[in-house]
Amino acid sequence: EAQVTQNPRYLITVTGKKLTVTCSQNMNHEYMSWYRQDPGLGLRQIYYSMNVEATDKGDVPEGYKVSRKEKRNFPLILESPSPNQTSLYFCASSLSAGVSYEQYFGPGTRLTVT
């Protein structure tokens, strides 16, 4: 089944404790992206990747890191999480960039930073 998977689905952590949210897709997609969703603000892009070893900042990249060493994986790293990073996070992938290519979203990771 074609899908985007994220782990963990739920995470409660404390300020400053490094964490990684994994994202994997099995559709051989080149374009991958991370978003955060907050009430009243919609989805905001954190980072995106056009292909392996090609990552770039989205609209809200501060406090986050990403890497794209393999085509299928695009982990999101929070080196020193803070309470303002409490949010619902989505990974997405598509064949290429642009709306001509349907973007598939993962199920989301709900992160709480205390």
Partner 1 sequence: TQLLEQSPQFLSIQEGENLTVYCNSSSVFSSLQWYRQEPGEGPVLLVTVVTGGEVKKLKRLTFQFGDARKDSSLHITAAQTGDTGLYLCAGEGRGDYKLSFGAGTTVTVRA
Which C-beta is closer to partner 1: that of 81 or that of 106?
106
Which residue, 1 or 80, has its beta carbon nearer to partner 1? 1
Closer to partner 1 at the Cβ: 77 or 104?
A: 104
Distance of closest approach, residue 80 Cβ to partner 1, in angstroms: 25
What lies within 8 Å, CB to CB, of 110 at 6+ separation is 9, 10, 11, 88, 89
Nearest to 71 by CA among 36, 47, 96, 44: 96
Alpha carbon distance 50, 98 (integer Å): 11
Q: Tell me which residue of 104, 73, 77 sits closest to 90, measured CA to CA.
A: 104
Contact 92, 73 (CB under 8 A): no
CB of 42 to partner 1, least distance (A): 4
Least distance to partner 1 from the beta carbon of 93, Å?
A: 11
Q: Shortest Cβ distance from residue 16 to partner 1 (Å)?
A: 28
Q: Interface residues with partner 1 (CB under 8 A)?
A: 4, 35, 39-45, 58-59, 90, 92, 97-100, 102-108
